[in-house]
Structure 1
Amino acid sequence: MSGKLSRLFNWFPELRRLYEARGAEDFDDFLDLHFARCIQRMEAEAHHLAGDSEEKLSAFLAAALSMPGLSVVREAYSNGRVDLTIRSESLLSAEQRLAEAKIYDGPVYHAQAITQLISRYSTGRQPSGYVIEYVKKPGIADIVMRLRSQADAELPECQEGLTSDHDMRWAYVSRHRHSSEELLRVVHININLKR
Protein backbone atom coordinates (compact mmCIF):
# COMPACT_ATOMS: atom_id res chain seq x y z
CA MET A 1 0.00 0.00 0.00
CA SER A 2 1.37 3.41 -0.91
CA GLY A 3 2.28 5.90 1.82
CA LYS A 4 -0.39 8.36 0.62
CA LEU A 5 -3.12 5.73 0.69
CA SER A 6 -2.01 4.55 4.13
CA ARG A 7 -2.18 8.13 5.47
CA LEU A 8 -5.61 8.58 3.89
CA PHE A 9 -6.84 5.40 5.59
CA ASN A 10 -5.53 6.70 8.93
CA TRP A 11 -7.52 9.91 8.50
CA PHE A 12 -10.66 8.13 7.27
CA PRO A 13 -10.87 4.61 8.74
CA GLU A 14 -14.16 3.94 6.92
CA LEU A 15 -12.26 4.11 3.64
CA ARG A 16 -10.14 1.11 4.64
CA ARG A 17 -13.25 -0.98 5.37
CA LEU A 18 -14.82 0.07 2.07
CA TYR A 19 -11.75 -0.59 -0.07
CA GLU A 20 -10.93 -3.86 1.66
CA ALA A 21 -14.48 -5.24 1.34
CA ARG A 22 -14.23 -8.55 -0.48
CA GLY A 23 -17.87 -9.31 -1.05
CA ALA A 24 -21.46 -8.58 -0.13
CA GLU A 25 -21.15 -9.35 3.57
CA ASP A 26 -18.07 -7.15 4.06
CA PHE A 27 -19.75 -4.34 2.13
CA ASP A 28 -22.94 -4.64 4.21
CA ASP A 29 -20.90 -4.52 7.43
CA PHE A 30 -19.17 -1.35 6.21
CA LEU A 31 -22.40 0.25 5.00
CA ASP A 32 -24.31 -0.46 8.22
CA LEU A 33 -21.54 1.21 10.24
CA HIS A 34 -21.33 4.12 7.81
CA PHE A 35 -25.12 4.62 7.95
CA ALA A 36 -24.95 4.73 11.76
CA ARG A 37 -22.31 7.47 11.71
CA CYS A 38 -24.16 9.56 9.13
CA ILE A 39 -27.47 9.21 10.97
CA GLN A 40 -25.91 10.44 14.19
CA ARG A 41 -24.90 13.57 12.28
CA MET A 42 -28.46 14.01 10.96
CA GLU A 43 -29.96 13.60 14.42
CA ALA A 44 -27.50 16.15 15.83
CA GLU A 45 -28.83 18.62 13.23
CA ALA A 46 -32.52 17.75 13.77
CA HIS A 47 -33.33 21.32 14.79
CA HIS A 48 -32.37 22.38 11.23
CA LEU A 49 -33.96 19.40 9.45
CA ALA A 50 -37.26 18.73 11.22
CA GLY A 51 -39.31 20.94 8.89
CA ASP A 52 -37.79 19.60 5.68
CA SER A 53 -39.46 17.45 3.03
CA GLU A 54 -38.59 13.82 2.33
CA GLU A 55 -36.61 14.94 -0.73
CA LYS A 56 -34.47 17.40 1.25
CA LEU A 57 -33.88 14.88 4.03
CA SER A 58 -32.83 12.25 1.50
CA ALA A 59 -30.54 14.76 -0.21
CA PHE A 60 -28.91 15.52 3.16
CA LEU A 61 -28.49 11.79 3.88
CA ALA A 62 -27.09 11.12 0.39
CA ALA A 63 -24.54 13.91 0.85
CA ALA A 64 -23.55 12.55 4.27
CA LEU A 65 -23.17 8.98 2.94
CA SER A 66 -21.17 9.97 -0.16
CA MET A 67 -17.42 9.57 0.11
CA PRO A 68 -14.53 8.63 -2.15
CA GLY A 69 -15.26 5.13 -3.39
CA LEU A 70 -18.97 5.27 -2.45
CA SER A 71 -21.46 6.78 -4.86
CA VAL A 72 -24.90 7.71 -3.49
CA VAL A 73 -27.40 8.80 -6.14
CA ARG A 74 -30.93 10.07 -5.54
CA GLU A 75 -33.77 9.06 -7.83
CA ALA A 76 -31.76 6.60 -9.96
CA TYR A 77 -33.86 4.17 -11.99
CA SER A 78 -34.43 0.53 -11.06
CA ASN A 79 -37.97 -0.40 -12.14
CA GLY A 80 -38.89 3.10 -10.95
CA ARG A 81 -37.21 6.03 -9.20
CA VAL A 82 -35.41 4.71 -6.12
CA ASP A 83 -34.84 7.20 -3.30
CA LEU A 84 -31.17 6.22 -2.81
CA THR A 85 -28.91 3.98 -4.88
CA ILE A 86 -25.63 3.27 -3.11
CA ARG A 87 -22.73 1.87 -5.13
CA SER A 88 -19.26 0.78 -4.17
CA GLU A 89 -16.66 1.99 -6.62
CA SER A 90 -14.07 -0.44 -5.25
CA LEU A 91 -12.40 -2.75 -7.73
CA LEU A 92 -12.48 -5.63 -5.24
CA SER A 93 -16.23 -5.60 -4.67
CA ALA A 94 -18.66 -3.90 -7.06
CA GLU A 95 -21.71 -3.77 -4.81
CA GLN A 96 -24.98 -1.85 -5.04
CA ARG A 97 -27.77 -1.33 -2.50
CA LEU A 98 -31.17 0.34 -2.79
CA ALA A 99 -32.90 2.38 -0.10
CA GLU A 100 -36.50 3.56 0.10
CA ALA A 101 -36.98 6.56 2.39
CA LYS A 102 -40.17 7.98 3.92
CA ILE A 103 -41.21 10.49 6.52
CA TYR A 104 -42.86 8.26 9.12
CA ASP A 105 -46.64 8.52 8.94
CA GLY A 106 -47.80 5.25 10.48
CA PRO A 107 -47.37 1.51 9.96
CA VAL A 108 -49.33 1.41 6.70
CA TYR A 109 -46.95 3.90 5.11
CA HIS A 110 -43.99 1.88 6.41
CA ALA A 111 -45.43 -1.30 4.86
CA GLN A 112 -45.77 0.55 1.54
CA ALA A 113 -42.06 1.39 1.68
CA ILE A 114 -41.22 -2.29 2.16
CA THR A 115 -43.43 -3.21 -0.80
CA GLN A 116 -41.79 -0.60 -3.02
CA LEU A 117 -38.30 -1.79 -2.10
CA ILE A 118 -38.95 -5.54 -2.40
CA SER A 119 -41.58 -5.88 -5.12
CA ARG A 120 -40.94 -2.88 -7.31
CA TYR A 121 -37.34 -1.66 -7.19
CA SER A 122 -35.35 -4.73 -6.24
CA THR A 123 -34.32 -7.13 -8.98
CA GLY A 124 -33.19 -9.72 -6.44
CA ARG A 125 -29.55 -9.27 -7.40
CA GLN A 126 -28.66 -7.15 -4.35
CA PRO A 127 -28.71 -9.26 -1.17
CA SER A 128 -29.58 -6.28 1.08
CA GLY A 129 -31.66 -3.13 0.98
CA TYR A 130 -32.79 -0.37 3.33
CA VAL A 131 -36.06 1.17 4.45
CA ILE A 132 -35.34 4.54 6.02
CA GLU A 133 -37.91 6.38 8.14
CA TYR A 134 -37.48 10.03 9.08
CA VAL A 135 -39.38 10.14 12.38
CA LYS A 136 -40.58 13.61 13.34
CA LYS A 137 -43.00 12.40 16.03
CA PRO A 138 -42.12 11.84 19.70
CA GLY A 139 -41.51 8.33 21.03
CA ILE A 140 -39.32 6.80 18.33
CA ALA A 141 -38.46 3.80 20.53
CA ASP A 142 -42.15 2.91 20.89
CA ILE A 143 -42.78 3.49 17.17
CA VAL A 144 -40.01 1.06 16.23
CA MET A 145 -41.27 -1.53 18.71
CA ARG A 146 -44.79 -1.32 17.19
CA LEU A 147 -43.44 -1.56 13.62
CA ARG A 148 -41.51 -4.71 14.51
CA SER A 149 -44.50 -6.26 16.31
CA GLN A 150 -46.74 -5.62 13.33
CA ALA A 151 -44.17 -7.03 10.88
CA ASP A 152 -43.75 -10.14 13.02
CA ALA A 153 -47.54 -10.63 13.16
CA GLU A 154 -48.29 -9.93 9.48
CA LEU A 155 -45.04 -11.02 7.73
CA PRO A 156 -45.34 -8.42 4.92
CA GLU A 157 -43.87 -8.96 1.47
CA CYS A 158 -43.08 -12.64 2.01
CA GLN A 159 -41.14 -11.93 5.21
CA GLU A 160 -39.51 -15.12 6.45
CA GLY A 161 -39.34 -15.49 10.21
CA LEU A 162 -39.37 -12.79 12.82
CA THR A 163 -37.47 -9.52 12.64
CA SER A 164 -34.10 -9.43 14.39
CA ASP A 165 -32.13 -6.84 16.30
CA HIS A 166 -29.57 -4.61 14.65
CA ASP A 167 -26.58 -3.02 16.38
CA MET A 168 -27.82 0.44 15.40
CA ARG A 169 -30.31 2.01 17.82
CA TRP A 170 -33.86 2.14 16.43
CA ALA A 171 -33.00 -0.24 13.60
CA TYR A 172 -33.94 -3.85 12.95
CA VAL A 173 -33.60 -6.46 10.22
CA SER A 174 -36.17 -8.48 8.31
CA ARG A 175 -35.69 -11.09 5.60
CA HIS A 176 -37.98 -11.36 2.58
CA ARG A 177 -38.34 -13.92 -0.19
CA HIS A 178 -38.08 -12.02 -3.49
CA SER A 179 -39.91 -13.15 -6.64
CA SER A 180 -36.48 -14.30 -7.90
CA GLU A 181 -36.54 -16.78 -4.96
CA GLU A 182 -33.55 -14.99 -3.40
CA LEU A 183 -33.75 -14.15 0.31
CA LEU A 184 -33.24 -10.40 0.79
CA ARG A 185 -32.05 -8.75 4.01
CA VAL A 186 -33.81 -5.45 4.72
CA VAL A 187 -32.43 -3.09 7.33
CA HIS A 188 -35.11 -0.78 8.74
CA ILE A 189 -33.41 2.44 9.90
CA ASN A 190 -35.40 4.97 11.91
CA ILE A 191 -33.94 8.47 12.25
CA ASN A 192 -35.03 10.63 15.17
CA LEU A 193 -35.78 14.13 13.87
CA LYS A 194 -38.09 15.16 16.70
CA ARG A 195 -36.73 18.39 18.17
Structure 2
Amino acid sequence: MGDTLQTLFSWFPVMRMLYQSKSEQEFDDFLDRHIEESVQRMEAEAQHLSEDCEEKLSAFFAAALSMPGLSVERESYSNGHVDLTIRSESIKRPQRRLAEAKIYAGPAYHAQAIEQLVSRYSTGRQSRGYVLEYVKKPGISDIVVKLRAKADLDFPVHQQGATCDHQMKWAYISDHRHTSQELIRVVHINVNLYR
Protein backbone atom coordinates (compact mmCIF):
# COMPACT_ATOMS: atom_id res chain seq x y z
CA MET A 1 0.00 0.00 0.00
CA GLY A 2 2.83 2.41 0.90
CA ASP A 3 4.66 1.85 -2.41
CA THR A 4 1.45 2.41 -4.37
CA LEU A 5 0.73 5.68 -2.57
CA GLN A 6 4.32 6.83 -3.02
CA THR A 7 4.13 6.10 -6.77
CA LEU A 8 0.79 7.89 -7.03
CA PHE A 9 2.10 10.95 -5.17
CA SER A 10 5.22 11.05 -7.36
CA TRP A 11 2.94 11.29 -10.41
CA PHE A 12 0.92 14.27 -9.14
CA PRO A 13 3.18 17.05 -10.54
CA VAL A 14 3.46 15.25 -13.88
CA MET A 15 -0.28 14.52 -13.99
CA ARG A 16 -1.05 18.15 -13.21
CA MET A 17 1.11 19.24 -16.15
CA LEU A 18 -0.67 16.74 -18.41
CA TYR A 19 -4.19 17.68 -17.34
CA GLN A 20 -3.52 21.41 -17.38
CA SER A 21 -2.20 21.40 -20.95
CA LYS A 22 -4.58 23.47 -23.05
CA SER A 23 -2.80 23.39 -26.40
CA GLU A 24 -0.79 21.04 -28.58
CA GLN A 25 2.38 22.92 -27.62
CA GLU A 26 1.73 22.52 -23.89
CA PHE A 27 1.03 18.81 -24.39
CA ASP A 28 4.24 18.42 -26.42
CA ASP A 29 6.22 20.25 -23.72
CA PHE A 30 4.80 17.87 -21.11
CA LEU A 31 5.46 14.83 -23.30
CA ASP A 32 9.07 15.84 -24.01
CA ARG A 33 9.79 16.14 -20.29
CA HIS A 34 8.04 12.87 -19.51
CA ILE A 35 9.83 11.05 -22.35
CA GLU A 36 13.17 12.33 -21.06
CA GLU A 37 12.44 10.88 -17.61
CA SER A 38 11.48 7.54 -19.19
CA VAL A 39 14.64 7.52 -21.31
CA GLN A 40 16.74 8.12 -18.21
CA ARG A 41 15.02 5.16 -16.52
CA MET A 42 15.93 2.97 -19.50
CA GLU A 43 19.53 4.15 -19.49
CA ALA A 44 19.79 3.47 -15.74
CA GLU A 45 18.72 -0.13 -16.47
CA ALA A 46 20.96 -0.55 -19.53
CA GLN A 47 22.85 -3.51 -18.03
CA HIS A 48 19.54 -5.42 -18.01
CA LEU A 49 18.32 -4.17 -21.40
CA SER A 50 21.36 -4.06 -23.67
CA GLU A 51 20.82 -7.59 -25.02
CA ASP A 52 17.07 -7.21 -25.60
CA CYS A 53 15.33 -7.00 -28.98
CA GLU A 54 13.46 -3.94 -30.23
CA GLU A 55 10.09 -5.30 -29.11
CA LYS A 56 11.23 -5.83 -25.51
CA LEU A 57 12.90 -2.43 -25.40
CA SER A 58 9.74 -0.78 -26.69
CA ALA A 59 7.66 -2.68 -24.15
CA PHE A 60 9.91 -1.40 -21.35
CA PHE A 61 9.73 2.15 -22.71
CA ALA A 62 5.93 1.98 -23.05
CA ALA A 63 5.62 0.77 -19.46
CA ALA A 64 7.91 3.55 -18.22
CA LEU A 65 5.96 6.19 -20.17
CA SER A 66 2.45 5.00 -19.25
CA MET A 67 0.73 6.77 -16.37
CA PRO A 68 -2.79 7.71 -15.33
CA GLY A 69 -4.11 9.98 -18.08
CA LEU A 70 -1.53 8.86 -20.67
CA SER A 71 -1.83 5.56 -22.50
CA VAL A 72 0.98 4.08 -24.55
CA GLU A 73 -0.01 1.30 -26.93
CA ARG A 74 2.35 -0.94 -28.81
CA GLU A 75 1.64 -2.05 -32.37
CA SER A 76 -1.67 -0.20 -32.72
CA TYR A 77 -2.87 0.38 -36.27
CA SER A 78 -2.45 3.58 -38.31
CA ASN A 79 -1.81 2.64 -41.94
CA GLY A 80 0.25 -0.20 -40.49
CA HIS A 81 1.38 -1.34 -37.06
CA VAL A 82 3.00 1.63 -35.33
CA ASP A 83 5.63 0.81 -32.71
CA LEU A 84 4.15 3.21 -30.14
CA THR A 85 0.97 5.27 -30.04
CA ILE A 86 0.87 7.79 -27.20
CA ARG A 87 -2.56 9.14 -26.25
CA SER A 88 -3.71 11.62 -23.67
CA GLU A 89 -6.94 10.52 -22.07
CA SER A 90 -8.15 14.07 -21.62
CA ILE A 91 -11.77 14.62 -22.57
CA LYS A 92 -11.24 18.32 -23.26
CA ARG A 93 -8.10 18.15 -25.43
CA PRO A 94 -7.31 14.59 -26.56
CA GLN A 95 -3.87 14.31 -28.15
CA ARG A 96 -2.19 11.50 -30.06
CA ARG A 97 1.44 11.06 -31.06
CA LEU A 98 3.13 8.27 -33.02
CA ALA A 99 6.63 6.94 -32.42
CA GLU A 100 8.77 4.63 -34.51
CA ALA A 101 11.46 2.75 -32.54
CA LYS A 102 14.60 1.07 -33.89
CA ILE A 103 17.83 -0.41 -32.65
CA TYR A 104 20.50 1.85 -34.16
CA ALA A 105 22.02 0.32 -37.30
CA GLY A 106 23.35 3.37 -39.16
CA PRO A 107 22.01 6.49 -40.89
CA ALA A 108 20.23 4.62 -43.72
CA TYR A 109 18.23 2.56 -41.21
CA HIS A 110 17.45 5.74 -39.28
CA ALA A 111 16.13 7.34 -42.49
CA GLN A 112 13.88 4.28 -42.96
CA ALA A 113 12.40 4.91 -39.51
CA ILE A 114 11.63 8.52 -40.50
CA GLU A 115 10.07 7.28 -43.75
CA GLN A 116 7.83 4.84 -41.89
CA LEU A 117 6.74 7.46 -39.38
CA VAL A 118 6.11 10.33 -41.80
CA SER A 119 5.08 8.65 -45.04
CA ARG A 120 3.37 5.48 -43.89
CA TYR A 121 1.90 5.76 -40.38
CA SER A 122 1.17 9.45 -40.12
CA THR A 123 -2.07 10.80 -41.55
CA GLY A 124 -0.81 14.38 -41.35
CA ARG A 125 -3.27 15.22 -38.57
CA GLN A 126 -0.66 15.21 -35.79
CA SER A 127 1.95 17.92 -36.00
CA ARG A 128 4.61 15.93 -34.15
CA GLY A 129 6.04 12.42 -34.06
CA TYR A 130 9.03 10.63 -32.57
CA VAL A 131 11.85 8.41 -33.82
CA LEU A 132 13.28 6.52 -30.88
CA GLU A 133 16.70 4.97 -31.46
CA TYR A 134 18.11 2.39 -29.04
CA VAL A 135 21.90 2.77 -29.33
CA LYS A 136 23.84 -0.30 -28.21
CA LYS A 137 27.19 0.88 -29.58
CA PRO A 138 29.78 3.08 -27.84
CA GLY A 139 30.02 6.78 -28.70
CA ILE A 140 26.35 7.83 -28.78
CA SER A 141 27.36 11.50 -28.86
CA ASP A 142 29.35 11.03 -32.11
CA ILE A 143 26.56 8.88 -33.57
CA VAL A 144 24.02 11.67 -33.04
CA VAL A 145 26.37 14.26 -34.61
CA LYS A 146 26.79 12.00 -37.66
CA LEU A 147 23.03 11.35 -37.97
CA ARG A 148 22.35 15.09 -37.96
CA ALA A 149 25.13 15.84 -40.45
CA LYS A 150 23.82 13.16 -42.81
CA ALA A 151 20.25 14.48 -42.51
CA ASP A 152 21.39 18.05 -43.16
CA LEU A 153 23.23 16.86 -46.26
CA ASP A 154 20.56 14.54 -47.70
CA PHE A 155 17.27 16.10 -46.43
CA PRO A 156 15.58 12.67 -46.14
CA VAL A 157 11.82 12.19 -46.39
CA HIS A 158 11.09 15.74 -47.62
CA GLN A 159 13.00 17.33 -44.74
CA GLN A 160 12.43 21.08 -44.67
CA GLY A 161 15.58 22.94 -43.67
CA ALA A 162 18.36 21.88 -41.35
CA THR A 163 17.89 19.91 -38.15
CA CYS A 164 17.81 21.87 -34.91
CA ASP A 165 18.70 21.27 -31.29
CA HIS A 166 16.36 19.77 -28.75
CA GLN A 167 16.73 20.40 -25.02
CA MET A 168 17.08 16.67 -24.34
CA LYS A 169 20.60 15.27 -24.49
CA TRP A 170 21.27 13.24 -27.66
CA ALA A 171 18.05 14.44 -29.26
CA TYR A 172 17.33 16.76 -32.16
CA ILE A 173 14.43 17.94 -34.32
CA SER A 174 13.69 17.86 -38.03
CA ASP A 175 10.65 19.06 -39.98
CA HIS A 176 9.20 16.99 -42.82
CA ARG A 177 6.56 17.75 -45.45
CA HIS A 178 3.78 15.17 -45.35
CA THR A 179 1.79 14.25 -48.48
CA SER A 180 -1.12 16.22 -46.97
CA GLN A 181 1.22 19.25 -47.28
CA GLU A 182 1.23 19.58 -43.50
CA LEU A 183 4.57 19.96 -41.75
CA ILE A 184 5.41 17.19 -39.27
CA ARG A 185 8.00 17.89 -36.60
CA VAL A 186 10.01 14.77 -35.80
CA VAL A 187 11.86 14.54 -32.51
CA HIS A 188 14.79 12.13 -32.80
CA ILE A 189 15.53 10.60 -29.38
CA ASN A 190 18.63 8.47 -28.90
CA VAL A 191 18.82 6.14 -25.90
CA ASN A 192 22.23 5.06 -24.63
CA LEU A 193 22.04 1.30 -23.94
CA TYR A 194 25.74 0.55 -24.45
CA ARG A 195 27.33 -1.44 -21.63
TM-score category, normalised to shorter length: over 0.9
Give the Cα–Cα distance (whole angstroms) in 2 for the partners of residues 20 and 52 of structure 1.
36
CA distance in 2, matches of 1:149, 1:16: 38
Report what 1:60 is aligned to. 60
Contact in 2 for aligned 1:86/1:97 (Cα 8 Å): yes
- The alpha carbon displacement at 1:166 in A equals 0.3
How far the C-alpha of 1:12 sits from its partner, in A, is 2.4
* Equivalent-residue separation in structure 2 for 1:185 and 1:148 (angstroms): 15
Q: Is the Cα contact below 8 Å between 1:87 and 1:95 reproduced in 2?
A: yes
Question: What's the CA shift for 1:129?
Answer: 0.1
Give the structure 2 partner of residue 141 of structure 1: 141
Partner SS, residue 131 of structure 1: strand
Deviation at residue 93 of structure 1 after TM alignment: 1.4
Per-residue Cα deviation, 1:127-181 (whole angstroms, up to 9, x for no partner) = 0000000000000000000000000011011100100000000000000010001
TM-score by length of 1: 0.94
Structure 2 counterpart of 1:97, which letter?
A: R
Shift of 1:10: 7.3
Equivalent position of 1:124 in the other structure: 124
Q: CA deviation at 1:90?
A: 1.1
How far is 1:72 from its partner?
0.2
Compute the TM-score of the two structures, normalised by the length of structure 2: 0.94
- Which letter maps to 2:69? G
1:185 aligns with 2:185: yes
Within a 5 Å distance, the mapping from 1:27-106 to structure 2 comes to 27-106=27-106
User: Identity over the aligned pairs, expressed in percent?
Assistant: 68
2:91 is paired with a residue of what secondary structure? coil
Aligned equivalent of 1:3: none
Cα distance change, pair 124–9 in 1 and its aligned pair in 2 (3 A)? farther
Shift of 1:92: 2.6
Please state how far the C-alpha of 1:9 moved relative to its aligned partner. 7.1
Count of residue correspondences: 188
Conserved? CA contact 1:20–1:92, under 8 Å: no
Q: 1:11 & 1:54 partners in 2: Cα distance?
A: 27
Q: Which residue of 2 aligns with 1:4?
A: none
1:33-52 Cα deviation digits (max 9, x unpaired):
00000100000000000000
Q: Does structure 2 retain, via aligned residues, the 8 Å contact 1:59–1:74?
A: yes
Segments of 4+ moved more than 6 angstroms: none
Matched residue SS, 2:34 = helix
Residue 23 of structure 1: CA displacement? 1.7
Report the Cα distance in structure 1 between the residues aligned to 2:97 and 2:129, rounded to whole angstroms. 6
* CA-atom RMSD in angstroms: 1.1
CA contact (8 A) 1:9 1:16 kept: no
Give 5+ residue unaligned stretches, structure 2.
1-7
Q: Identify the residue that residue 4 of structure 2 maps to in structure 1.
A: none
Quick one: distance in 1 between partners of 2:145 and 2:75? Answer: 30
Matches of 1:191 and 1:62 in 2, distance apart?
14
Counterpart Cα distance in 2 of 1:163 and 1:92? 33
Q: Work out the CA distance in 2 between the residues paired with 1:110 and 1:20.
A: 34
Partner of 2:162: 162
